[in-house]
Chains A and B, each alone.
Chain A
Amino acid sequence: MSAVRSVLYAVGLPLLLLAAWWVATADSESPFNPPLSEILATFGPTWFSGDTFADTRFVQDILPSLGRLLVGYAAALVVGIGLGVLIGAVRPLREFAEPVLEFFRAIPPPVMVPVLMLFLGVGTSMRVFVIATGALWPILLNTVEGVRGLDPVLQDTARAFRLGRWGRVRRLMLPGASPQIVTGARQALSIAIILMVISEMFAARDGLGFSVVQFQRSFAIPEMWSGVIMLGLLGVLLSFVFRIATGAVLAWYHGYLQAQRGGA
Chain B
Amino acid sequence: MTAPTGPTGPTGPTSPTSPNRPMLDVRALRKVYTGRGEPVEAIEDLSFDVAEGELVCVVGPSGAGKTTLLRCLAGLLPATSGEVALAGTPVTGPPQGMAVVLQEYGRSLFPWMTVVQNVELPLKEKGVPRAERARLVGEALEAVGLADVGRSYPWQLSGGMQQRVAIARAAAYEPQVLLMDEPFAAVDAQTRFELEDLVRALWQRLGVTVVFVTHDIDEAIYLGERVLVLSARPTVILEDVRVDLGAERDQLDTRGAPEFARLRTHVYELVQQAKQGVRSLADARLTHAG
Residues 149-174 of A, flagged 1 when their CB comes within 8 A of B and 0 if not, give 00101101101111110010001100
In the assembly, what is the distance between CA of A153 and CA of B106, in Å? 9
Interface pair A178/B112, CB less than 8 Å apart: yes
In the assembly, what is the distance between CA of A171 and CA of B71, in Å? 22
A110 at the interface (CB under 8 A from B): no
Interface pair A161/B112, CB less than 8 Å apart: no
Interface pair A252/B74, CB less than 8 Å apart: no
B173 at the interface (CB under 8 A from A): yes
Chain A residues with Cβ below 8 Å from B102 are: 153, 156-157
In the assembly, what is the distance between CA of A258 and CA of B267, in Å? 43
Which applies to chain A's interface (DSSP): helix, strand, loop or mixed?
A: helix
Determine how close the nearest CB of chain B comes to the CB of A154; give it in whole angstroms.
6
Determine how close the nearest CB of chain B comes to the CB of A72; give it in whole angstroms.
29
In the assembly, what is the distance between CA of A5 and CA of B236, in Å? 70
Residues 11-24 of A, flagged 1 when their CB comes within 8 A of B and 0 if not, give 00000000000000
Shortest Cβ distance from B98 into A: residue: A160
Our pick among A153, A159, A161, A178 for the contact of B121 (Cβ within 8 Å) is: A161
Known: A176-B112, A252-B112, A259-B155. A161 touches B107 (CB 8 A): no
Chain B residues with Cβ below 8 Å from A264 are: 106, 155, 158-159
* Tally of contacts, chain A with chain B, CB under 8 A: 71
Interface pair B155/A256, CB less than 8 Å apart: yes
B94 at the interface (CB under 8 A from A): yes
A255 at the interface (CB under 8 A from B): yes
Interface pair B107/A160, CB less than 8 Å apart: no
A175 at the interface (CB under 8 A from B): yes
Our pick among A153, A162, A167, A175 for the contact of B107 (Cβ within 8 Å) is: A153
B268 at the interface (CB under 8 A from A): no
Query: Which A residues, 223 to 264, have Cβ-Cβ distances below 8 Å to chain B?
Result: 252-253, 255-256, 259-260, 264
In the assembly, what is the distance between CA of A21 and CA of B113, in Å? 49
Shortest Cβ distance from A262 into B: residue: B155
Indicate the member of A161, A175, A253, A260 with the most B CB atoms within 10 Å. Answer: A161
Our pick among A153, A164, A176, A253 for the contact of B125 (Cβ within 8 Å) is: A164
Interface pair B156/A259, CB less than 8 Å apart: yes
Interface size class, chain B: 20 to 34
Known: A156-B102, A160-B74, A178-B112. A171 touches B121 (CB 8 A): yes
Determine how close the nearest CB of chain A comes to the CB of B225; give it in whole angstroms.
24
Chain B residues with Cβ below 8 Å from A156 are: 71, 76, 100, 102, 108
Interface pair A161/B173, CB less than 8 Å apart: yes
In the assembly, what is the distance between CA of A163 and CA of B110, in Å? 13
Our pick among B75, B93, B108, B158 for the contact of A153 (Cβ within 8 Å) is: B108
In the assembly, what is the distance between CA of A253 and CA of B121, in Å? 19
Indicate the member of B76, B96, B110 with the most A CB atoms within 10 Å. Answer: B110
Chain B residues with Cβ below 8 Å from A260 are: 155
Chain B residues with Cβ below 8 Å from A151 are: 107
Determine how close the nearest CB of chain A comes to the CB of B182; give it in whole angstroms.
13
Query: Which A residues, 33 to 50, have Cβ-Cβ distances below 8 Å to chain B?
Result: none
Chain A residues with Cβ below 8 Å from B104 are: 153
In the assembly, what is the distance between CA of A259 and CA of B152, in Å? 13
Determine how close the nearest CB of chain A comes to the CB of B72; give it in whole angstroms.
12
Interface pair B99/A161, CB less than 8 Å apart: yes
B78 at the interface (CB under 8 A from A): no
Known: A255-B153, A256-B111. A159 touches B76 (CB 8 A): yes
Query: Which A residues, 124 to 166, have Cβ-Cβ distances below 8 Å to chain B?
Result: 151, 153-154, 156-157, 159-164
Chain A residues with Cβ below 8 Å from B100 are: 156-157, 160-161
Query: Which B residues, 88 to 132, have Cβ-Cβ distances below 8 Å to chain A?
Result: 93-94, 96, 98-100, 102, 104, 106-108, 110-113, 121-122, 125-126
Interface pair B159/A172, CB less than 8 Å apart: no
Chain B residues with Cβ below 8 Å from A171 are: 110, 121
Which residues of A are interface residues toward B (Cβ below 8 A)?
151, 153-154, 156-157, 159-164, 167, 171-172, 175-176, 178, 252-253, 255-256, 259-260, 264
Please name 20 pairs of A and B residues whose Cβ atoms are closer than 8 Å in the assembled complex, sorted by A. A153-B102, A153-B104, A153-B107, A153-B108, A154-B107, A156-B76, A157-B100, A159-B94, A160-B98, A160-B99, A161-B100, A161-B122, A163-B122, A172-B110, A175-B112, A178-B112, A252-B153, A253-B111, A255-B156, A264-B106
5 further A-B contacts with Cβ under 8 Å, apart from A157-B102, A161-B99, A255-B156, are A153-B107, A156-B100, A161-B121, A162-B125, A256-B111
Which residues of B are interface residues toward A (Cβ below 8 A)?
71, 74-76, 93-94, 96, 98-100, 102, 104, 106-108, 110-113, 121-122, 125-126, 153, 155-156, 158-159, 173
What 10 pairs across the A-B complex have the smallest Cβ distances? A259-B155, A153-B107, A161-B122, A160-B100, A175-B112, A252-B112, A157-B108, A256-B111, A256-B155, A153-B104
